[in-house]
């Protein structure tokens, strides 16, 4: 079996690095930094809104998001069925109010005030049944935070989905809103957009930067520096204004039973 093309660098002693497979994003992989920071920006936004809460981070993957939430929450349980991801998270992230459980998101339950379920609903065969279960788990007064990529900006124009083999379905804004609204009394939708240096980069591309760097032979050197320098502040969560959700990178739904 060939070695993975990318895996995590510089892990703490005793913590096995995870390989980048495309199923989940990872920190400590320079080539993956854009996607990691894009996910991290949403975790940071949610962390500011769950101080004192008991939180379940469903499909927590590598565990970085659970650890971030634990800085503000009363307690956090990170849940993931993958044995390698679970073992990595358990060994790497430790805090008195943080724990990790290996279980399927369809099965795990514990008392909670909030459930966080990011960039995973697109992997699920029966998303409606899972959201209904989450609504029951948090109960009245609880909240469920669900994010997913926007098919309009992820997939090629006109395609039903991207070529990501782990995604069973990708959503348009109205489709994702309808899915959440079918199982919750109130749903607030936000869009994830480029900000700061990524916004400037998008403007540069619109002005022809992609042609310039190729012609000058700068593509490799530029992006080897640019991508690792991206931070969570280079993404912004915004409520919808007009048709802005159609241009969002990802959607975040804040759902209340």
The CATH number covering residue 40 comes to 3.40.50.150
| Residue 10 within a domain | no
| Residue 7 within a domain | no
> How confident is residue 1, by pLDDT bands cut at 50, 70 and 90?
very low
Residue 98, strand partner residues: 76, 95
| Residue 4 within a domain | no
Total domain count, the chain:
1
Residue 113 DSSP class: S
CA 71 to chain CA centroid, Å, is 18
Average pLDDT of 145-171? 95
| Residue 24 within a domain | no
Q: What is the pTM of this model?
A: 0.94
Query: Which of 43-52, 215-224, 229-238 has the lowest average pLDDT?
Result: 215-224
CA 153 to chain CA centroid, Å, is 15
| Residue 11 within a domain | no
| Residue 121 within a domain | yes
Q: Are 86 and 62 in contact (CB under 8 A)?
A: no
Domain limits at 88?
A: 30-256
Whether 70 shows a pLDDT value over 70: the answer reads yes
Position 3 scores a pLDDT of 53
| Residue 190 within a domain | yes
Whether 43 shows a pLDDT value over 50: the answer reads yes
pLDDT exceeding 70 applies to what percent of the chain? 98
Q: Which residue is listed with tokens 């969570």?
A: 232
| Residue 40 within a domain | yes
Per the rule left: phi > 0, alpha: psi between -120 and 50, beta: everything else, 236 is beta
């Amino acid at each position: 079996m060939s070695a993975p093309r990318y895996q995590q660098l510089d892990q703490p002693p005793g913590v096995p690095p995870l390989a980048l497979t495309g199923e989940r994003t990872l920190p400590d992989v320079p080539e993956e930094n854009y996607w990691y920071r894009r996910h991290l920006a949403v975790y940071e936004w949610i962390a500011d809104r769950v101080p004192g809460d008991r939180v379940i981070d469903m499909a927590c993957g590598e565990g970085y998001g659970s650890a971030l939430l634990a800085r503000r929450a009363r307690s956090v349980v990170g849940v993931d069925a993958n044995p390698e991801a679970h073992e990595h998270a358990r060994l790497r992230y430790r805090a008195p109010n943080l724990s990790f459980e290996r279980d399927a998101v369809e099965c795990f339950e514990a008392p909670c005030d909030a459930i966080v379920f990011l960039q995973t609903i697109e992997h699920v065969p029966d998303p409606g049944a899972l959201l209904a279960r989450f609504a029951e788990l948090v109960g009245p007064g609880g909240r469920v935070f669900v994010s997913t990529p926007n098919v309009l900006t992820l997939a090629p124009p006109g395609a039903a989905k991207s070529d990501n083999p782990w995604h069973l379905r990708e959503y348009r804004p109205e489709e994702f809103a309808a899915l959440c609204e079918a199982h919750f009394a109130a749903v607030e939708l936000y869009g994830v957009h480029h900000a700061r240096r990524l916004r400037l980069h998008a403007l540069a591309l619109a002005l022809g930067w992609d042609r310039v760097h190729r012609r000058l032979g700068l593509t490799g050197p530029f992006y080897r520096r640019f991508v690792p320098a991206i931070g969570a502040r280079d993404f912004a969560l915004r409520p919808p204004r007009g048709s802005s959700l159609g241009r969002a990178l990802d959607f975040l739904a804040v759902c209340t039973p």
